[in-house]
Amino acid sequence: AQSVAQPEDQVNVAEGNPLTVKCTYSVSGNPYLFWYVQYPNRGLQFLLKYITGDNLVKGSYGFEAEFNKSQTSFHLKKPSALVSDSALYFCAVRDNGSGNTGKLIFGQGTTLQVKP
């Protein structure tokens, strides 16, 4: 079965420090991976995605993610965290077992808390 895991419910980091939000996946076939961010009482905003090619994907707001096929991971990173980055982050993978429906499977979310 296709699945996504975000092993940390919460990540705490000091402003200015690098941050990493972890994601591992399990899919059949080629993985298509996404990161979204949800600010309080808002919808999800797309950050970046991996389709193919370069393992380091750059996205919005200075975020990037590293695809690692051998470790089946797609960790989200940022070199220098801002207080305004505090939000709920979701990793998602396309469900390759559902035909061409665009169905995404989401991880359980990781709350990022950036302290001044």
Partner 1 sequence: DTAVSQTPKYLVTQMGNDKSIKCEQNLGHDTMYWYKQDSKKFLKIMFSYNNKELIINETVPNRFSPKSPDKAHLNLHINSLELGDSAVYFCASSQYVGYADTQYFGPGTRLTVL
Point out which residues bind partner 1 (CB under 8 A): 30, 32, 34, 36, 38, 41-46, 49, 51, 88, 90, 94, 98, 100-104, 106, 108-109
State phi, psi for 103 to the nearest 5 degrees.
-65, 130
Cα–Cα distance measured from residue 7 to residue 88, given in angstroms and rounded to the nearest whole number: 14
> For partner 1, which is the closer residue by CB, 30 or 80?
30
Shortest reach from residue 19's CB to partner 1, in Å: 19
> For partner 1, which is the closer residue by CB, 25 or 36?
36
Shortest reach from residue 89's CB to partner 1, in Å: 11
Shortest reach from residue 88's CB to partner 1, in Å: 6
> For partner 1, which is the closer residue by CB, 49 or 77?
49
